[in-house]
Structures are given as C-alpha cells and as structure tokens.
Structure 1
Amino acid sequence: MNTLITLIVPVYNVEPYIEECLTSLVQQTYPHLQIVIVNDGSKDRSREIAASFQKEDARITIVDKENGGLSDARNAGMAHIKGEYTAFVDSDDVLARDWVEKTLRAALLNRADIVQTNHVYMWPDKMLIDSRTQHHTLPFLLEREDAMRALIDNVYLKNFAWGKLYRSELIKDKPFPVGKLFEDMFWQHLVFHDATLVAYVQEALYGYRQREGSIIAAYSVKHMDILDGILDRCRFMKLYYPKLYEKQREEAVQMHLIHYKLLARKPFNKQWQRARRRIKREMVQGLLMQPVLSREEMIKQHRLFLKSPLLYIGREGIEKGRRAAGLTQTVSPLRPVTGEAGLI
C-alpha cells in the first residue's frame, strides 16, 4: 500500500503531552503520511517541540495561526489535505504504532468511507476501556442507516472526530462550527450521511487522554453547546432518517436531563436560572415535547421532571446519597485494560 494518509494535529498549549503524541505518529508502521500540525497560537513550548520533530521528519508540516479554538484549527488543517484519507489526532492523545496501517487496510479491503477503531481512556496511573465494546455484536461493516443508528447509540461508533480514518473527499467541504464546544456533535452526522460504508475495528488502538484543563473538566454555560448540537441532529434525523428520529430524541432528552442536574449544582443567579429555564422550555414546549421513550428508567425520570424539576432533582439527590452509603450499586462500563486491549 502506498496510499497517502493525512494526519491533522491541532496544537494549543500541550507542552507536557505533544512529544508523546508526535512520537506515536512518526513511528507508525505505515510510512506514507502527511502530518499537518496546526499551531493554534500556543504560548508554551508546544510549537518549539513540534519544530524539533519537523527537523527530523520531512513528512511534517507546521501551520501557524492565531488562536481560534479547536474547530478553527481543524479547519485550517483541512485546507492542507493531500492524502486520499484523513484522520484527526488530538495533540494530547496517542496512536498505537499500527493504527494507520490497520485502519487503512480496513478501508481499502472493504471500500469503507470511514473506519473507526476502539479506544482506551488514559489517566496518569491507569488505562480503562469501555467493557461494552468487548462484547462485540455490531457488524464489522455498516451501511449508512445502520451506521447512523450506531452513532446515536454512541457505544461502538463514537461522536468524536478523532479515532476515525475518513475518505478525504467526505470531509473537505464540511468545516467544523467555529466557537462551539463539542463541535463534533454538529459535524459527525453530516459526514456519516455522505458515507456509503462505515467499518468498525474492535481493537483498542487510540489512546484518549483524560486530564485537568480539558473542556469537560469544569462545567460552564458554554457546555450547553452540546444541547444545540443534539437538537440540530434531531432536526436532521427527522428530515433524512425518520425511522431514527425518536431514538435521537430519546438521547436528546437524556442529555438535557444530565445538564439540568449539572445546572442544579450551580449558584442560583440569573445566568444559571436562564439556562435551567431553557432546558425546561425545550422539554415542555420545544422539540423534545412528548417524545416516545423506550427505556423504563428514562420514562420515570422524564415524567418526574415534567411534574416538577425540583422533585426530579430531589430524587436524584436521594439516589446519589444511597449510592454513597452503599445502599445501591452502580456499575461503570469502564474496566482496566488487559494485555489484549492495550495500545502497544
């Protein structure tokens, strides 16, 4: 195989992690790479470290720009795509040495437009994997509607832009929305909509780093961008995938309930009050009014919320107290990575 693959790496103030990330790219077993590093106005030594790799490897290009956020950096990188296939790699993450080789082989052998591998969650002292992905019942190759259904489930096929190899023609005309958190939620379904076949590789070959300072570490009103994204996707499903519309609305209800719980922990001021009212309005008279819910627990939560958001929050507080006291048990899908599921 001599197909050129483009790897786009947005970089902003990741000095502690970028060396490990770039090392995992330049040491790929598949050599035909174009590595586009987008320096998004870093103020630490990230750019300097990237330049040291560029001196040693002619496959690397550095694009410098003023800070504009992750979406803007990815868009800048897409303007430089030369490869037949493209992947996004976050600059604090790592790839297994054969990630490119295995995803490209899956793409070429199956004529797949998108290939996603499984991934591990990396902390400084441990690596965990979603145990649900270890009992693989999903077909290896999915046609468009089945792939979109799996994207809504968000278990095997994830809503993240990273961890996937894309046929470049699919994404060149689809910029990420600038200024949004959770930009992938606005973007991923548009790409899947234009894909004929999507392949899934169960092997965990992508390392997704968990760290302080990431966009999910501290909740703010901007985090509600994800609600805009999931509502946008609901409207999209209603138009193009009516059979999946109620399934997507159910996921949207769940996401709104999660965010209402997060908002309930915030001080009672006008900003947070407006945010809570927004969620209630969407659930009572907006797009999520009278959804068809399939999960019993979701039905209970939804009914209680409609009856009284305060009662809903009170119930959640009681359940949290019971879990803390050991009266009930919850099972996390994450478990330690075994030797078979490691990155190397």
Structure 2
Amino acid sequence: MVIINEKVSIIVPIYNAEKYLEECIASITNQTYKNLQIVLVNDGSKDKSWELCKKIKDTDNRISIATQSNSGVSVARNRGLEFANGEWIMFVDPDDILDKKIVEDLLANVSSKIDIVASGCYGFDGNYKKKDSFFEGNRLFNSDKTDLYLQLMDATHGQSDDFVTAIGVPWGKLYRHSFLKKYNLKFDPKLRRMQDNIFNMYAFYYAREIFYLDKPLYFYRLDHITDYAKRHQSDMIKIFKPVVDARTTGIKELGLDKNPEIYQYYLNETAGFFLGIINSLILTNSYSKENVNQLVANANFNILFKDQNFKKIKDSKIKYKLFLLNHGLYKSYRVMYKIWNLVK
C-alpha cells in the first residue's frame, strides 16, 4: 500500500545536459505520486543547462534549484542531500527518464524495516529498448546480502550475458532519508569513478532490509555512453587506484572480508583493476620496470600475489598475467599483451 503522506526528494545532478534535461524533468513532474520535492543541482555546466533549470523552476513549485562551480557528480549529489527535506531520497541522472509510476510502485513495497527499495531498468537508445533485471524475481535482502555485494564487484553476477548495468547505480532506488543521515552516507568527492558503487556498498551494509522489485521502472540512456577507459588511458592510475583503496577500506571496515565468497570476488575485481592500470601504462608508453614494481609493491595490489589469494583468482588468463608480473617478466608481459590484442 502506498505511503501517501511521505515526501520523496528527487535529486538531479546536472552537467551539460541541455539536450535531455527537459524530457528528464518532465518524467519526474508527471509522476503519479505527487508529494515530491525536486532538487536540481547544476554542476558548473558550460551549456544552457542552468538557464533551463531556472526556466523549469517556474513551471512547478515543487522544484528547487542550486548551482555550483564544476566539482563533480559526488559533490552535486551531496549538495542535493543538503537541500532534501523528504522522508525518502531518489537520485536521477539528467539524461535518463522515469516510468510515470516509479515512485508510486517503489513506495508500495516499503515496510517499516526497509531502508532501500530498488527496481530494474530499461537500457534505451533511440528506438532500441532492452529490459535489465538485476536479479530474477522480487527479492527481500535482510541478514544475507551476499548477492548484492557480489554484483557490486562483478556486474555479471546473477545477470544474463547481455545485461545493461548492475545494482551499484544510485538511480532506480528509494533510500530512507533518516537512514542516510544516521550513518552519514554520502558520495566520496575524491572518486572520479564508481563513487556510486562505493556509496551503495556502505548503504547495503547498514540497511536493515532492502527490497528489489523486478520491474523495469527506470530508463537508462545508452547513446551518450563512451568508452571511458580509452579516453582516460593516461589517468588510469589516478582514477582507479583510489577506487581500489576505497573498496579495500570498505571491505575491511565492514568485515566483508570474513565472507570467503565476497573476498574472492574482491580479489578478482582488484586483479582486473591492477591489470587495467598495467595495460594503460603500455598504451601510453609509460610501462617500465620501476612503474610496475611500484604497483606490485602497493599493499592493496600486493595481496594478489600471496599464495592463498593467488589461488582464488578464477580466470586462468588473469593468473598467468599476474604470474608474469610477479616474477619480473615485464618484457614478456608486454609482448604477450600485444599478442593478446592482435588475437582479439
């Protein structure tokens, strides 16, 4: 049954989104559930997004707006949380679209113990639309949230081969506001990538119960997505090493490393980041014995080479690559990398 008296604050961080912004906001204002606060945070856009925000604000008294110098999506979402006064929080990306009943349907599945309720989504691009179920069937997570953590670290976990995205996104969810405040849950401004995934690792842990509604209620736009790694090859260490550090801190802080399955997924995710950084050094002509030695010696990467952990790496190709690097066979690795890419 819908909780008709509880306000939902919908936070939209905006950066250069003029092309899609009006369509996105219209899908929010046209919700069947009307008790909304809509917070638009302009993150130093260089296009006409801020002008659109001011124009849109005048069309609906539920909308409030704020602007800031470009500081990143984490700062924009956190700023939105400062303005939010609803009992529930929802995040929406400015190029996406909401099903008109998403708020109503998510609230209909709330109970007194549920702190997060989430839905599936559609990935869409022009006339193309693909349903993505993060998990098969409705699910209530309480004492055992293992599957949530596993999908945070491996997007393929529990999903079909042609999945769109994974449970770590901040959108398509309602968060109980008092719960976020109690545990001071915010997005980490130091992370340029995966700040939402790390945010949800903590949110999932502290939530008393999480309900997943296997119904696509969020439209995730695909046509603007580009290959981030290719565009930022020279920054891979700066971008992804902080992610590994944040994940490692969280895994240990929350005691998730005590779960053998979660710890194995953590090691495999770390191996993927490590090799991605190594490969970026090759592609940017920064690959050297000194650089690789520094990475191998890093505490959060060095654990991969300990015998008990090395055995937990699932992919034999990844194990072989780690073996080469652990034994100082850097030239062999570079040669093999070029061969692997030719084969691809």
Q: TM-score range by the shorter chain?
A: 0.7 to 0.9
Q: Does the aligned pair in 2 maintain the 1:231–1:252 contact within 8 Å?
A: no
Say if 1:106 and 1:259 are closer, same or farther in 2 by CA, change over 3 A: farther
Say if 1:261 and 1:49 are closer, same or farther in 2 by CA, change over 3 A: same
Alpha-carbon offset, residue 263 of structure 1: 4.3
Kindly report the root-mean-square deviation, in angstroms, between the aligned alpha carbons of the 2 structures: 3.1
Q: Tell me the residue number matched to 2:209.
A: 197
Q: Tell me the residue number matched to 1:164.
A: 173
Q: Tell me the residue number matched to 1:141.
A: 140
Matched, 1:22 2:39: no
Alpha-carbon offset, residue 84 of structure 1: 0.8
Q: Could you say what secondary structure the match of 2:185 adopts?
A: coil
Alignment of 1:94-243 (within 5 A): 94-108=97-111, 111-124=113-126, 126-130=128-132, 133=133, 136=136, 140-146=139-145, 147-154=148-155, 155=157, 158-172=167-181, 173-182=184-193, 183-210=195-222, 211=224, 218-224=231-237, 225-239=239-253, 240-241=255-256, 242-243=258-259
Summarize deviations over 1:51-93 as a string: whole Å, max 9, x none: 2221111110001222211111111111011111101111111
Alpha-carbon offset, residue 22 of structure 1: 0.7
Say if 1:231 and 1:134 are closer, same or farther in 2 by CA, change over 3 A: closer
Amino acid at match of 1:207: F
Say if 1:311 and 1:125 are closer, same or farther in 2 by CA, change over 3 A: farther
Q: Could you say what secondary structure the match of 1:288 adopts?
A: helix
Q: Tell me the residue number matched to 1:335.
A: none
Alpha-carbon offset, residue 304 of structure 1: 2.9
Alignment of 1:234-273 (within 5 A): 234-239=248-253, 240-241=255-256, 242-243=258-259, 244-264=262-282, 266-269=283-286
Counterparts of 2:69 and 2:144, CA distance in 1:
39
Alpha-carbon offset, residue 189 of structure 1: 1.2
Alpha-carbon offset, residue 161 of structure 1: 1.8
Q: Could you say what secondary structure the match of 2:114 adopts?
A: coil
Counterparts of 1:79 and 1:284, CA distance in 2:
34
- TM-score normalised per structure 1: 0.79
Say if 1:217 and 1:305 are closer, same or farther in 2 by CA, change over 3 A: closer
Alpha-carbon offset, residue 217 of structure 1: 6.6
Amino acid at match of 1:23: A
Q: 1:65 aligns with which of 68, 90, 102?
A: 68
Counterparts of 2:333 and 2:103, CA distance in 1:
46
Counterparts of 1:35 and 1:92, CA distance in 2:
15
Counterparts of 1:117 and 1:303, CA distance in 2:
39
Alignment of 1:325-336 (within 5 A): none
Alpha-carbon offset, residue 26 of structure 1: 0.7
Q: Could you say what secondary structure the match of 1:107 adopts?
A: coil
Q: Does the aligned pair in 1 maintain the 2:119–2:215 contact within 8 Å?
A: yes
Say if 1:145 and 1:274 are closer, same or farther in 2 by CA, change over 3 A: farther
Alpha-carbon offset, residue 286 of structure 1: 2.2
Amino acid at match of 1:152: M
- TM-score normalised per structure 2: 0.79
Matched, 1:35 2:52: no
Q: Does the aligned pair in 1 maintain the 2:234–2:280 contact within 8 Å?
A: no
Counterparts of 1:101 and 1:274, CA distance in 2:
56
Counterparts of 1:284 and 1:70, CA distance in 2:
26
Amino acid at match of 2:305: M
Gaps of 5+ in 1: 324-344
Counterparts of 2:290 and 2:77, CA distance in 1:
32
Alpha-carbon offset, residue 41 of structure 1: 2.1
Q: Does the aligned pair in 1 maintain the 2:264–2:312 contact within 8 Å?
A: no
Q: Does the aligned pair in 2 maintain the 1:9–1:38 contact within 8 Å?
A: yes
* Percent of matched pairs sharing the same residue: 26
Summarize deviations over 1:276-304 as a string: whole Å, max 9, x none: 555444489624333255564x1332233
Counterparts of 2:127 and 2:338, CA distance in 1:
30
Alpha-carbon offset, residue 124 of structure 1: 3.9
Gaps of 5+ in 2: 159-165
Amino acid at match of 1:151: L
Say if 1:179 and 1:222 are closer, same or farther in 2 by CA, change over 3 A: farther
